[in-house]
Amino acid sequence: MAQQPISSTLLVVLTCVAVFSHLVNAVTSTNGCHLPIPTEITPGGESYNFTHFLSNSTSPPSYRAYSLTVPPDYPIEIPAPLILSFHGRGKTNLEQEQLSKFSNPFFNTEAIAVYPQGIDKQWLGDPSAPPSINDTLFILELITHLQSRFCINPSLIYASGKSNGGGMVGQLACNPSASAVIAAFAPVSGAFYTDFQGPCFPSRTPIPILEFHGGADTTIFYEGGEDGSDRGITVPIPDWLHNWTAWDGCAQTAANETAILVDKEGANNVNRTTWDCGGHAGIVSHYFSSYSKHVWPTSENAGYNATSVIMEFFGRHFLPTEVEADGKRWMVQKATT
Residues 6+ apart with CB under 8 A from 102: 69, 83, 85, 108, 111, 113, 160, 307, 311
Whether 71 and 48 have beta carbons less than 8 Å apart is answered as no
Whether 99 and 296 have beta carbons less than 8 Å apart is answered as yes
- Residue 302 CA to residue 304 CA, distance in Å, equals 6
pLDDT reported for residue 259: 80
- Residue 317 CA to residue 113 CA, distance in Å, equals 17
Whether 146 and 152 have beta carbons less than 8 Å apart is answered as yes
pLDDT reported for residue 19: 67
pLDDT reported for residue 313: 97
pLDDT reported for residue 146: 95
- Residue 45 CA to residue 113 CA, distance in Å, equals 12
pLDDT reported for residue 236: 97
pLDDT reported for residue 11: 41
Neighbours of 247 (CB within 10 A): 19
- Residue 198 CA to residue 14 CA, distance in Å, equals 38
In the chain the first and final C-alpha atoms are separated, in Å, by 21
pLDDT reported for residue 20: 65
Q: What SS3 string covers the chain?
A: CEECCCCCHHHHCCCCCCCCCCCCCCCCCCCCCCCCCCCCCCCCCCCEEEEEECCCCCCCCCEEEEEEECCCCCCCCCCEEEEEEECCCCCCHHHHHHHHCCCCCCCCCCCEEEEECCHHHCCCCCCCCCCCCCHHHHHHHHHHHHHHHCCEEEEEEEEEEECHHHHHHHHHHHCCCCCCCCCEEEEECCCCEHHHCCCCCCCCCCCCEEEEEECCCCCCCCCCEECCCCCCEECCHHHHHHHHHHHCCECCCCCEEEEEEECCCCCEEEEEEEEEECCEEEEEEEEEECCCCCCCCCCCCCCCCHHHHHHHHHCCCCCCCEEEECCEEEECCCCCC
- Residue 318 CA to residue 21 CA, distance in Å, equals 12
- Residue 76 CA to residue 262 CA, distance in Å, equals 45
Handedness of CA 279, 283, 289, 290 (dihedral sign): negative
Sequential pLDDT tens for the chain (337 residues) = 333 333 333 343 344 456 665 554 434 556 899 999 999 999 999 999 999 887 775 556 778 999 999 998 888 889 999 999 999 999 999 999 999 999 999 999 999 999 999 999 999 989 989 888 999 999 999 999 999 999 999 999 999 999 999 999 999 999 999 999 999 999 999 999 998 887 899 999 999 999 999 999 999 999 999 999 888 999 999 999 999 999 998 876 667 888 877 565 555 589 999 999 888 889 999 999 988 999 999 988 888 899 999 999 999 999 976 433 333 333 333 332 2
Q: Which of 297, 271, 298 is CA-nearest to residue 285?
A: 271
Tell me the residue type at 17: V
